[in-house]
């Protein structure tokens, strides 16, 4: 088993455990779970039918009372109304500060469960068991939790670290191809901003079976990159902004199409390509970087061309971006594959990215 420790600037530490088949050995993780009198599992309907029974049975082996809350799958569940429903359920079942929430699911479940944990009783413990590729490589690590406000993505939230993250790449075997492709958008992001070696490795895959055979190493590399960044900048004051490569454009696209046409990873792929296209035009990025990115996105079935959108509506959504400081937006660019930096662009220039 691979074990990484993430220690934030506030000296809060938690473990990230990574191993194939780990979800079948939760009963061995007494050092994580045995102290909780009650454990609330929050999951969605798609994940629950595959893994809820397995996880619930093992958590009961710690003599804990296990409560389950099942939500509808998809981004539209990540809202105030759903959070309120969960808060009332926690109150009804008399959850206290010596109890815990387990997020069993993808990015939506993790963000929502973490948000509820951060706010209920001003904070109770939560543990992440990510079941999607996107959640395993990205959203379960680093303590960003939150909900959407209308179609403004992640506008309400907190930095609230989990007590542990339990990553089992075997859980990806039940993912539909669409969700695997979605997660590859984030994997490619990590290669672009920090690892030429990972990028080259991804370029070499011809068959799905080969990719899946190496998934534990791929997930581990992405986790390591994010862990290293988060330890230096927990609250996104500087370095952590590189993790937003492609996200400014991606979040606008997701919101514009009301979270239905593009998934997060797909939208981020379009964002990465188009911000790099701009930085090539500005002479900040080597032209071959854009070419190689396009090839890799193509190889994994990720779109990269900007969809047609109404610019006025785009501007309305863009101005909700948390990375704005007055009319200046902090964006990540890559001078070349494996290297990243933050540049400041004016609102007018940001809007031009969508035309």
Residue-wise pLDDT tens digits, 307-318 = 999 999 999 998
Backbone phi and psi for residue 226, each to the nearest 5 degrees, phi listed first: -65, -40
Beta strand 324-325 with 328-336 is: antiparallel
Q: Is-contact 153 5, C-beta < 8 A?
A: no
For residue 12, the model assigns a pLDDT of 82
Q: Which residues contact 208 (CB under 8 A, 6 or more apart)?
A: none
For residue 324, the model assigns a pLDDT of 76
What is the arithmetic mean of pLDDT over 86-110?
Answer: 98
Q: DSSP characters for 28-66?
A: G-HHHHTT-SEEEEEEEHHHHHHHHHHHHHHHHTTT-EE
pLDDT exceeds cutoff 90 at 33: yes
For residue 236, the model assigns a pLDDT of 79
Q: How confident is the model at residue 214 (pLDDT cuts 50, 70, 90)?
A: very high
Kindly report the number of other CB atoms within 10 A of residue 14's CB atom.
19
What is the arithmetic mean of pLDDT over 223-249?
Answer: 90
- This prediction's pTM: 0.93
What is the arithmetic mean of pLDDT over 108-117?
Answer: 98
Q: How confident is the model at residue 82 (pLDDT cuts 50, 70, 90)?
A: very high
List domains and CATH numbers for the chain: 2-174 (3.40.50.1970), 177-352 (1.20.1090.10)
Between the CA of residue 215 and those of 75, 193, 290, 328, what are the distances in Å?
A: 25, 19, 25, 38
pLDDT exceeds cutoff 80 at 120: yes
Strand partners, 336: 339
pLDDT exceeds cutoff 90 at 325: no
CA distance 1 to 170: 14
Please name the helix (run of DSSP H) or strand (run of DSSP E) that holds residue 187, with its range, or none.
Answer: helix 177-194
For residue 344, the model assigns a pLDDT of 92
In this structure, the chain runs to a length of 355
For residue 126, the model assigns a pLDDT of 98
Mean pLDDT of the chain, nearest integer: 94
For 248-273, give one letter per residue: b (16+ CB within 10 A) or e: bbbbbbbbbeebeebbbbbbbbbbbb
pLDDT exceeds cutoff 90 at 59: yes
Instruction: Judge residue 18's burial from the number of C-beta atoms within 10 Å of its C-beta, 0-12 exposed, 13-18 middle, 19 or more buried.
Output: buried
What is the arithmetic mean of pLDDT over 237-262?
Answer: 92
What is the arithmetic mean of pLDDT over 198-224?
Answer: 95
For residue 169, the model assigns a pLDDT of 97
């Amino acid at each position: 088993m691979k074990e990484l420790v993430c220690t934030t600037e506030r000296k809060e530490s938690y473990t990230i455990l990574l191993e194939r088949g780990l979800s079948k050995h939760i009963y061995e993780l007494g050092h994580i779970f045995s102290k909780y009198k009650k454990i609330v599992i929050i999951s969605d309907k798609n994940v629950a039918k595959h893994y809820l029974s397995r996880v619930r049975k093992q958590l009961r082996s710690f003599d804990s009372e296990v409560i389950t809350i099942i939500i509808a799958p998809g981004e539209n569940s990540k809202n105030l109304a759903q959070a309120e429903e969960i808060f009332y359920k926690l109150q009804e079942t008399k959850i206290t500060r010596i109890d815990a929430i387990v997020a069993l699911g993808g990015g939506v479940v993790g963000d929502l469960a973490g948000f509820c944990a951060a706010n209920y009783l001003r904070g109770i413990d939560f543990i992440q068991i990510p079941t999607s590729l996107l959640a395993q490589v990205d959203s379960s690590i680093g303590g960003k939790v939150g909900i959407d406000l209308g179609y403004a993505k992640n506008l309400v939230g907190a930095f609230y670290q989990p007590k542990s993250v339990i990553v089992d790449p075997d859980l990806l075997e039940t993912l539909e191809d669409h969700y695997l492709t979605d997660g590859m958008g984030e994997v490619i992001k990590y290669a672009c901003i920090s690892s030429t070696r990972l990028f080259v490795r991804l370029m070499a895959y011809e068959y799905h079976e080969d990719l899946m055979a190496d998934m534990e190493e791929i997930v581990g590399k992405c986790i390591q990159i994010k862990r290293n960044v988060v330890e230096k900048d927990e609250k996104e004051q500087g370095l952590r902004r590189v993790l937003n490569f492609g996200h400014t454009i991606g979040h606008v696209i997701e919101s514009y199409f009301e979270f239905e046409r593009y998934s997060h990873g797909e939208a981020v792929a379009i964002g990465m390509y188009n911000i790099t296209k701009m930085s090539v035009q500005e002479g900040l990025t080597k032209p071959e970087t854009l070419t190689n990115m396009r090839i890799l996105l193509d190889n994994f079935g990720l779109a990269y061309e900007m969809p047609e959108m109404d610019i006025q509506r785009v501007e309305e959504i863009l101005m909700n971006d948390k990375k704005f400081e007055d009319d200046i937006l902090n964006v990540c660019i890559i001078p070349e594959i494996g290297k990243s930096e933050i540049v400041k662009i004016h609102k007018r220039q940001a809007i031009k990215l969508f035309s």
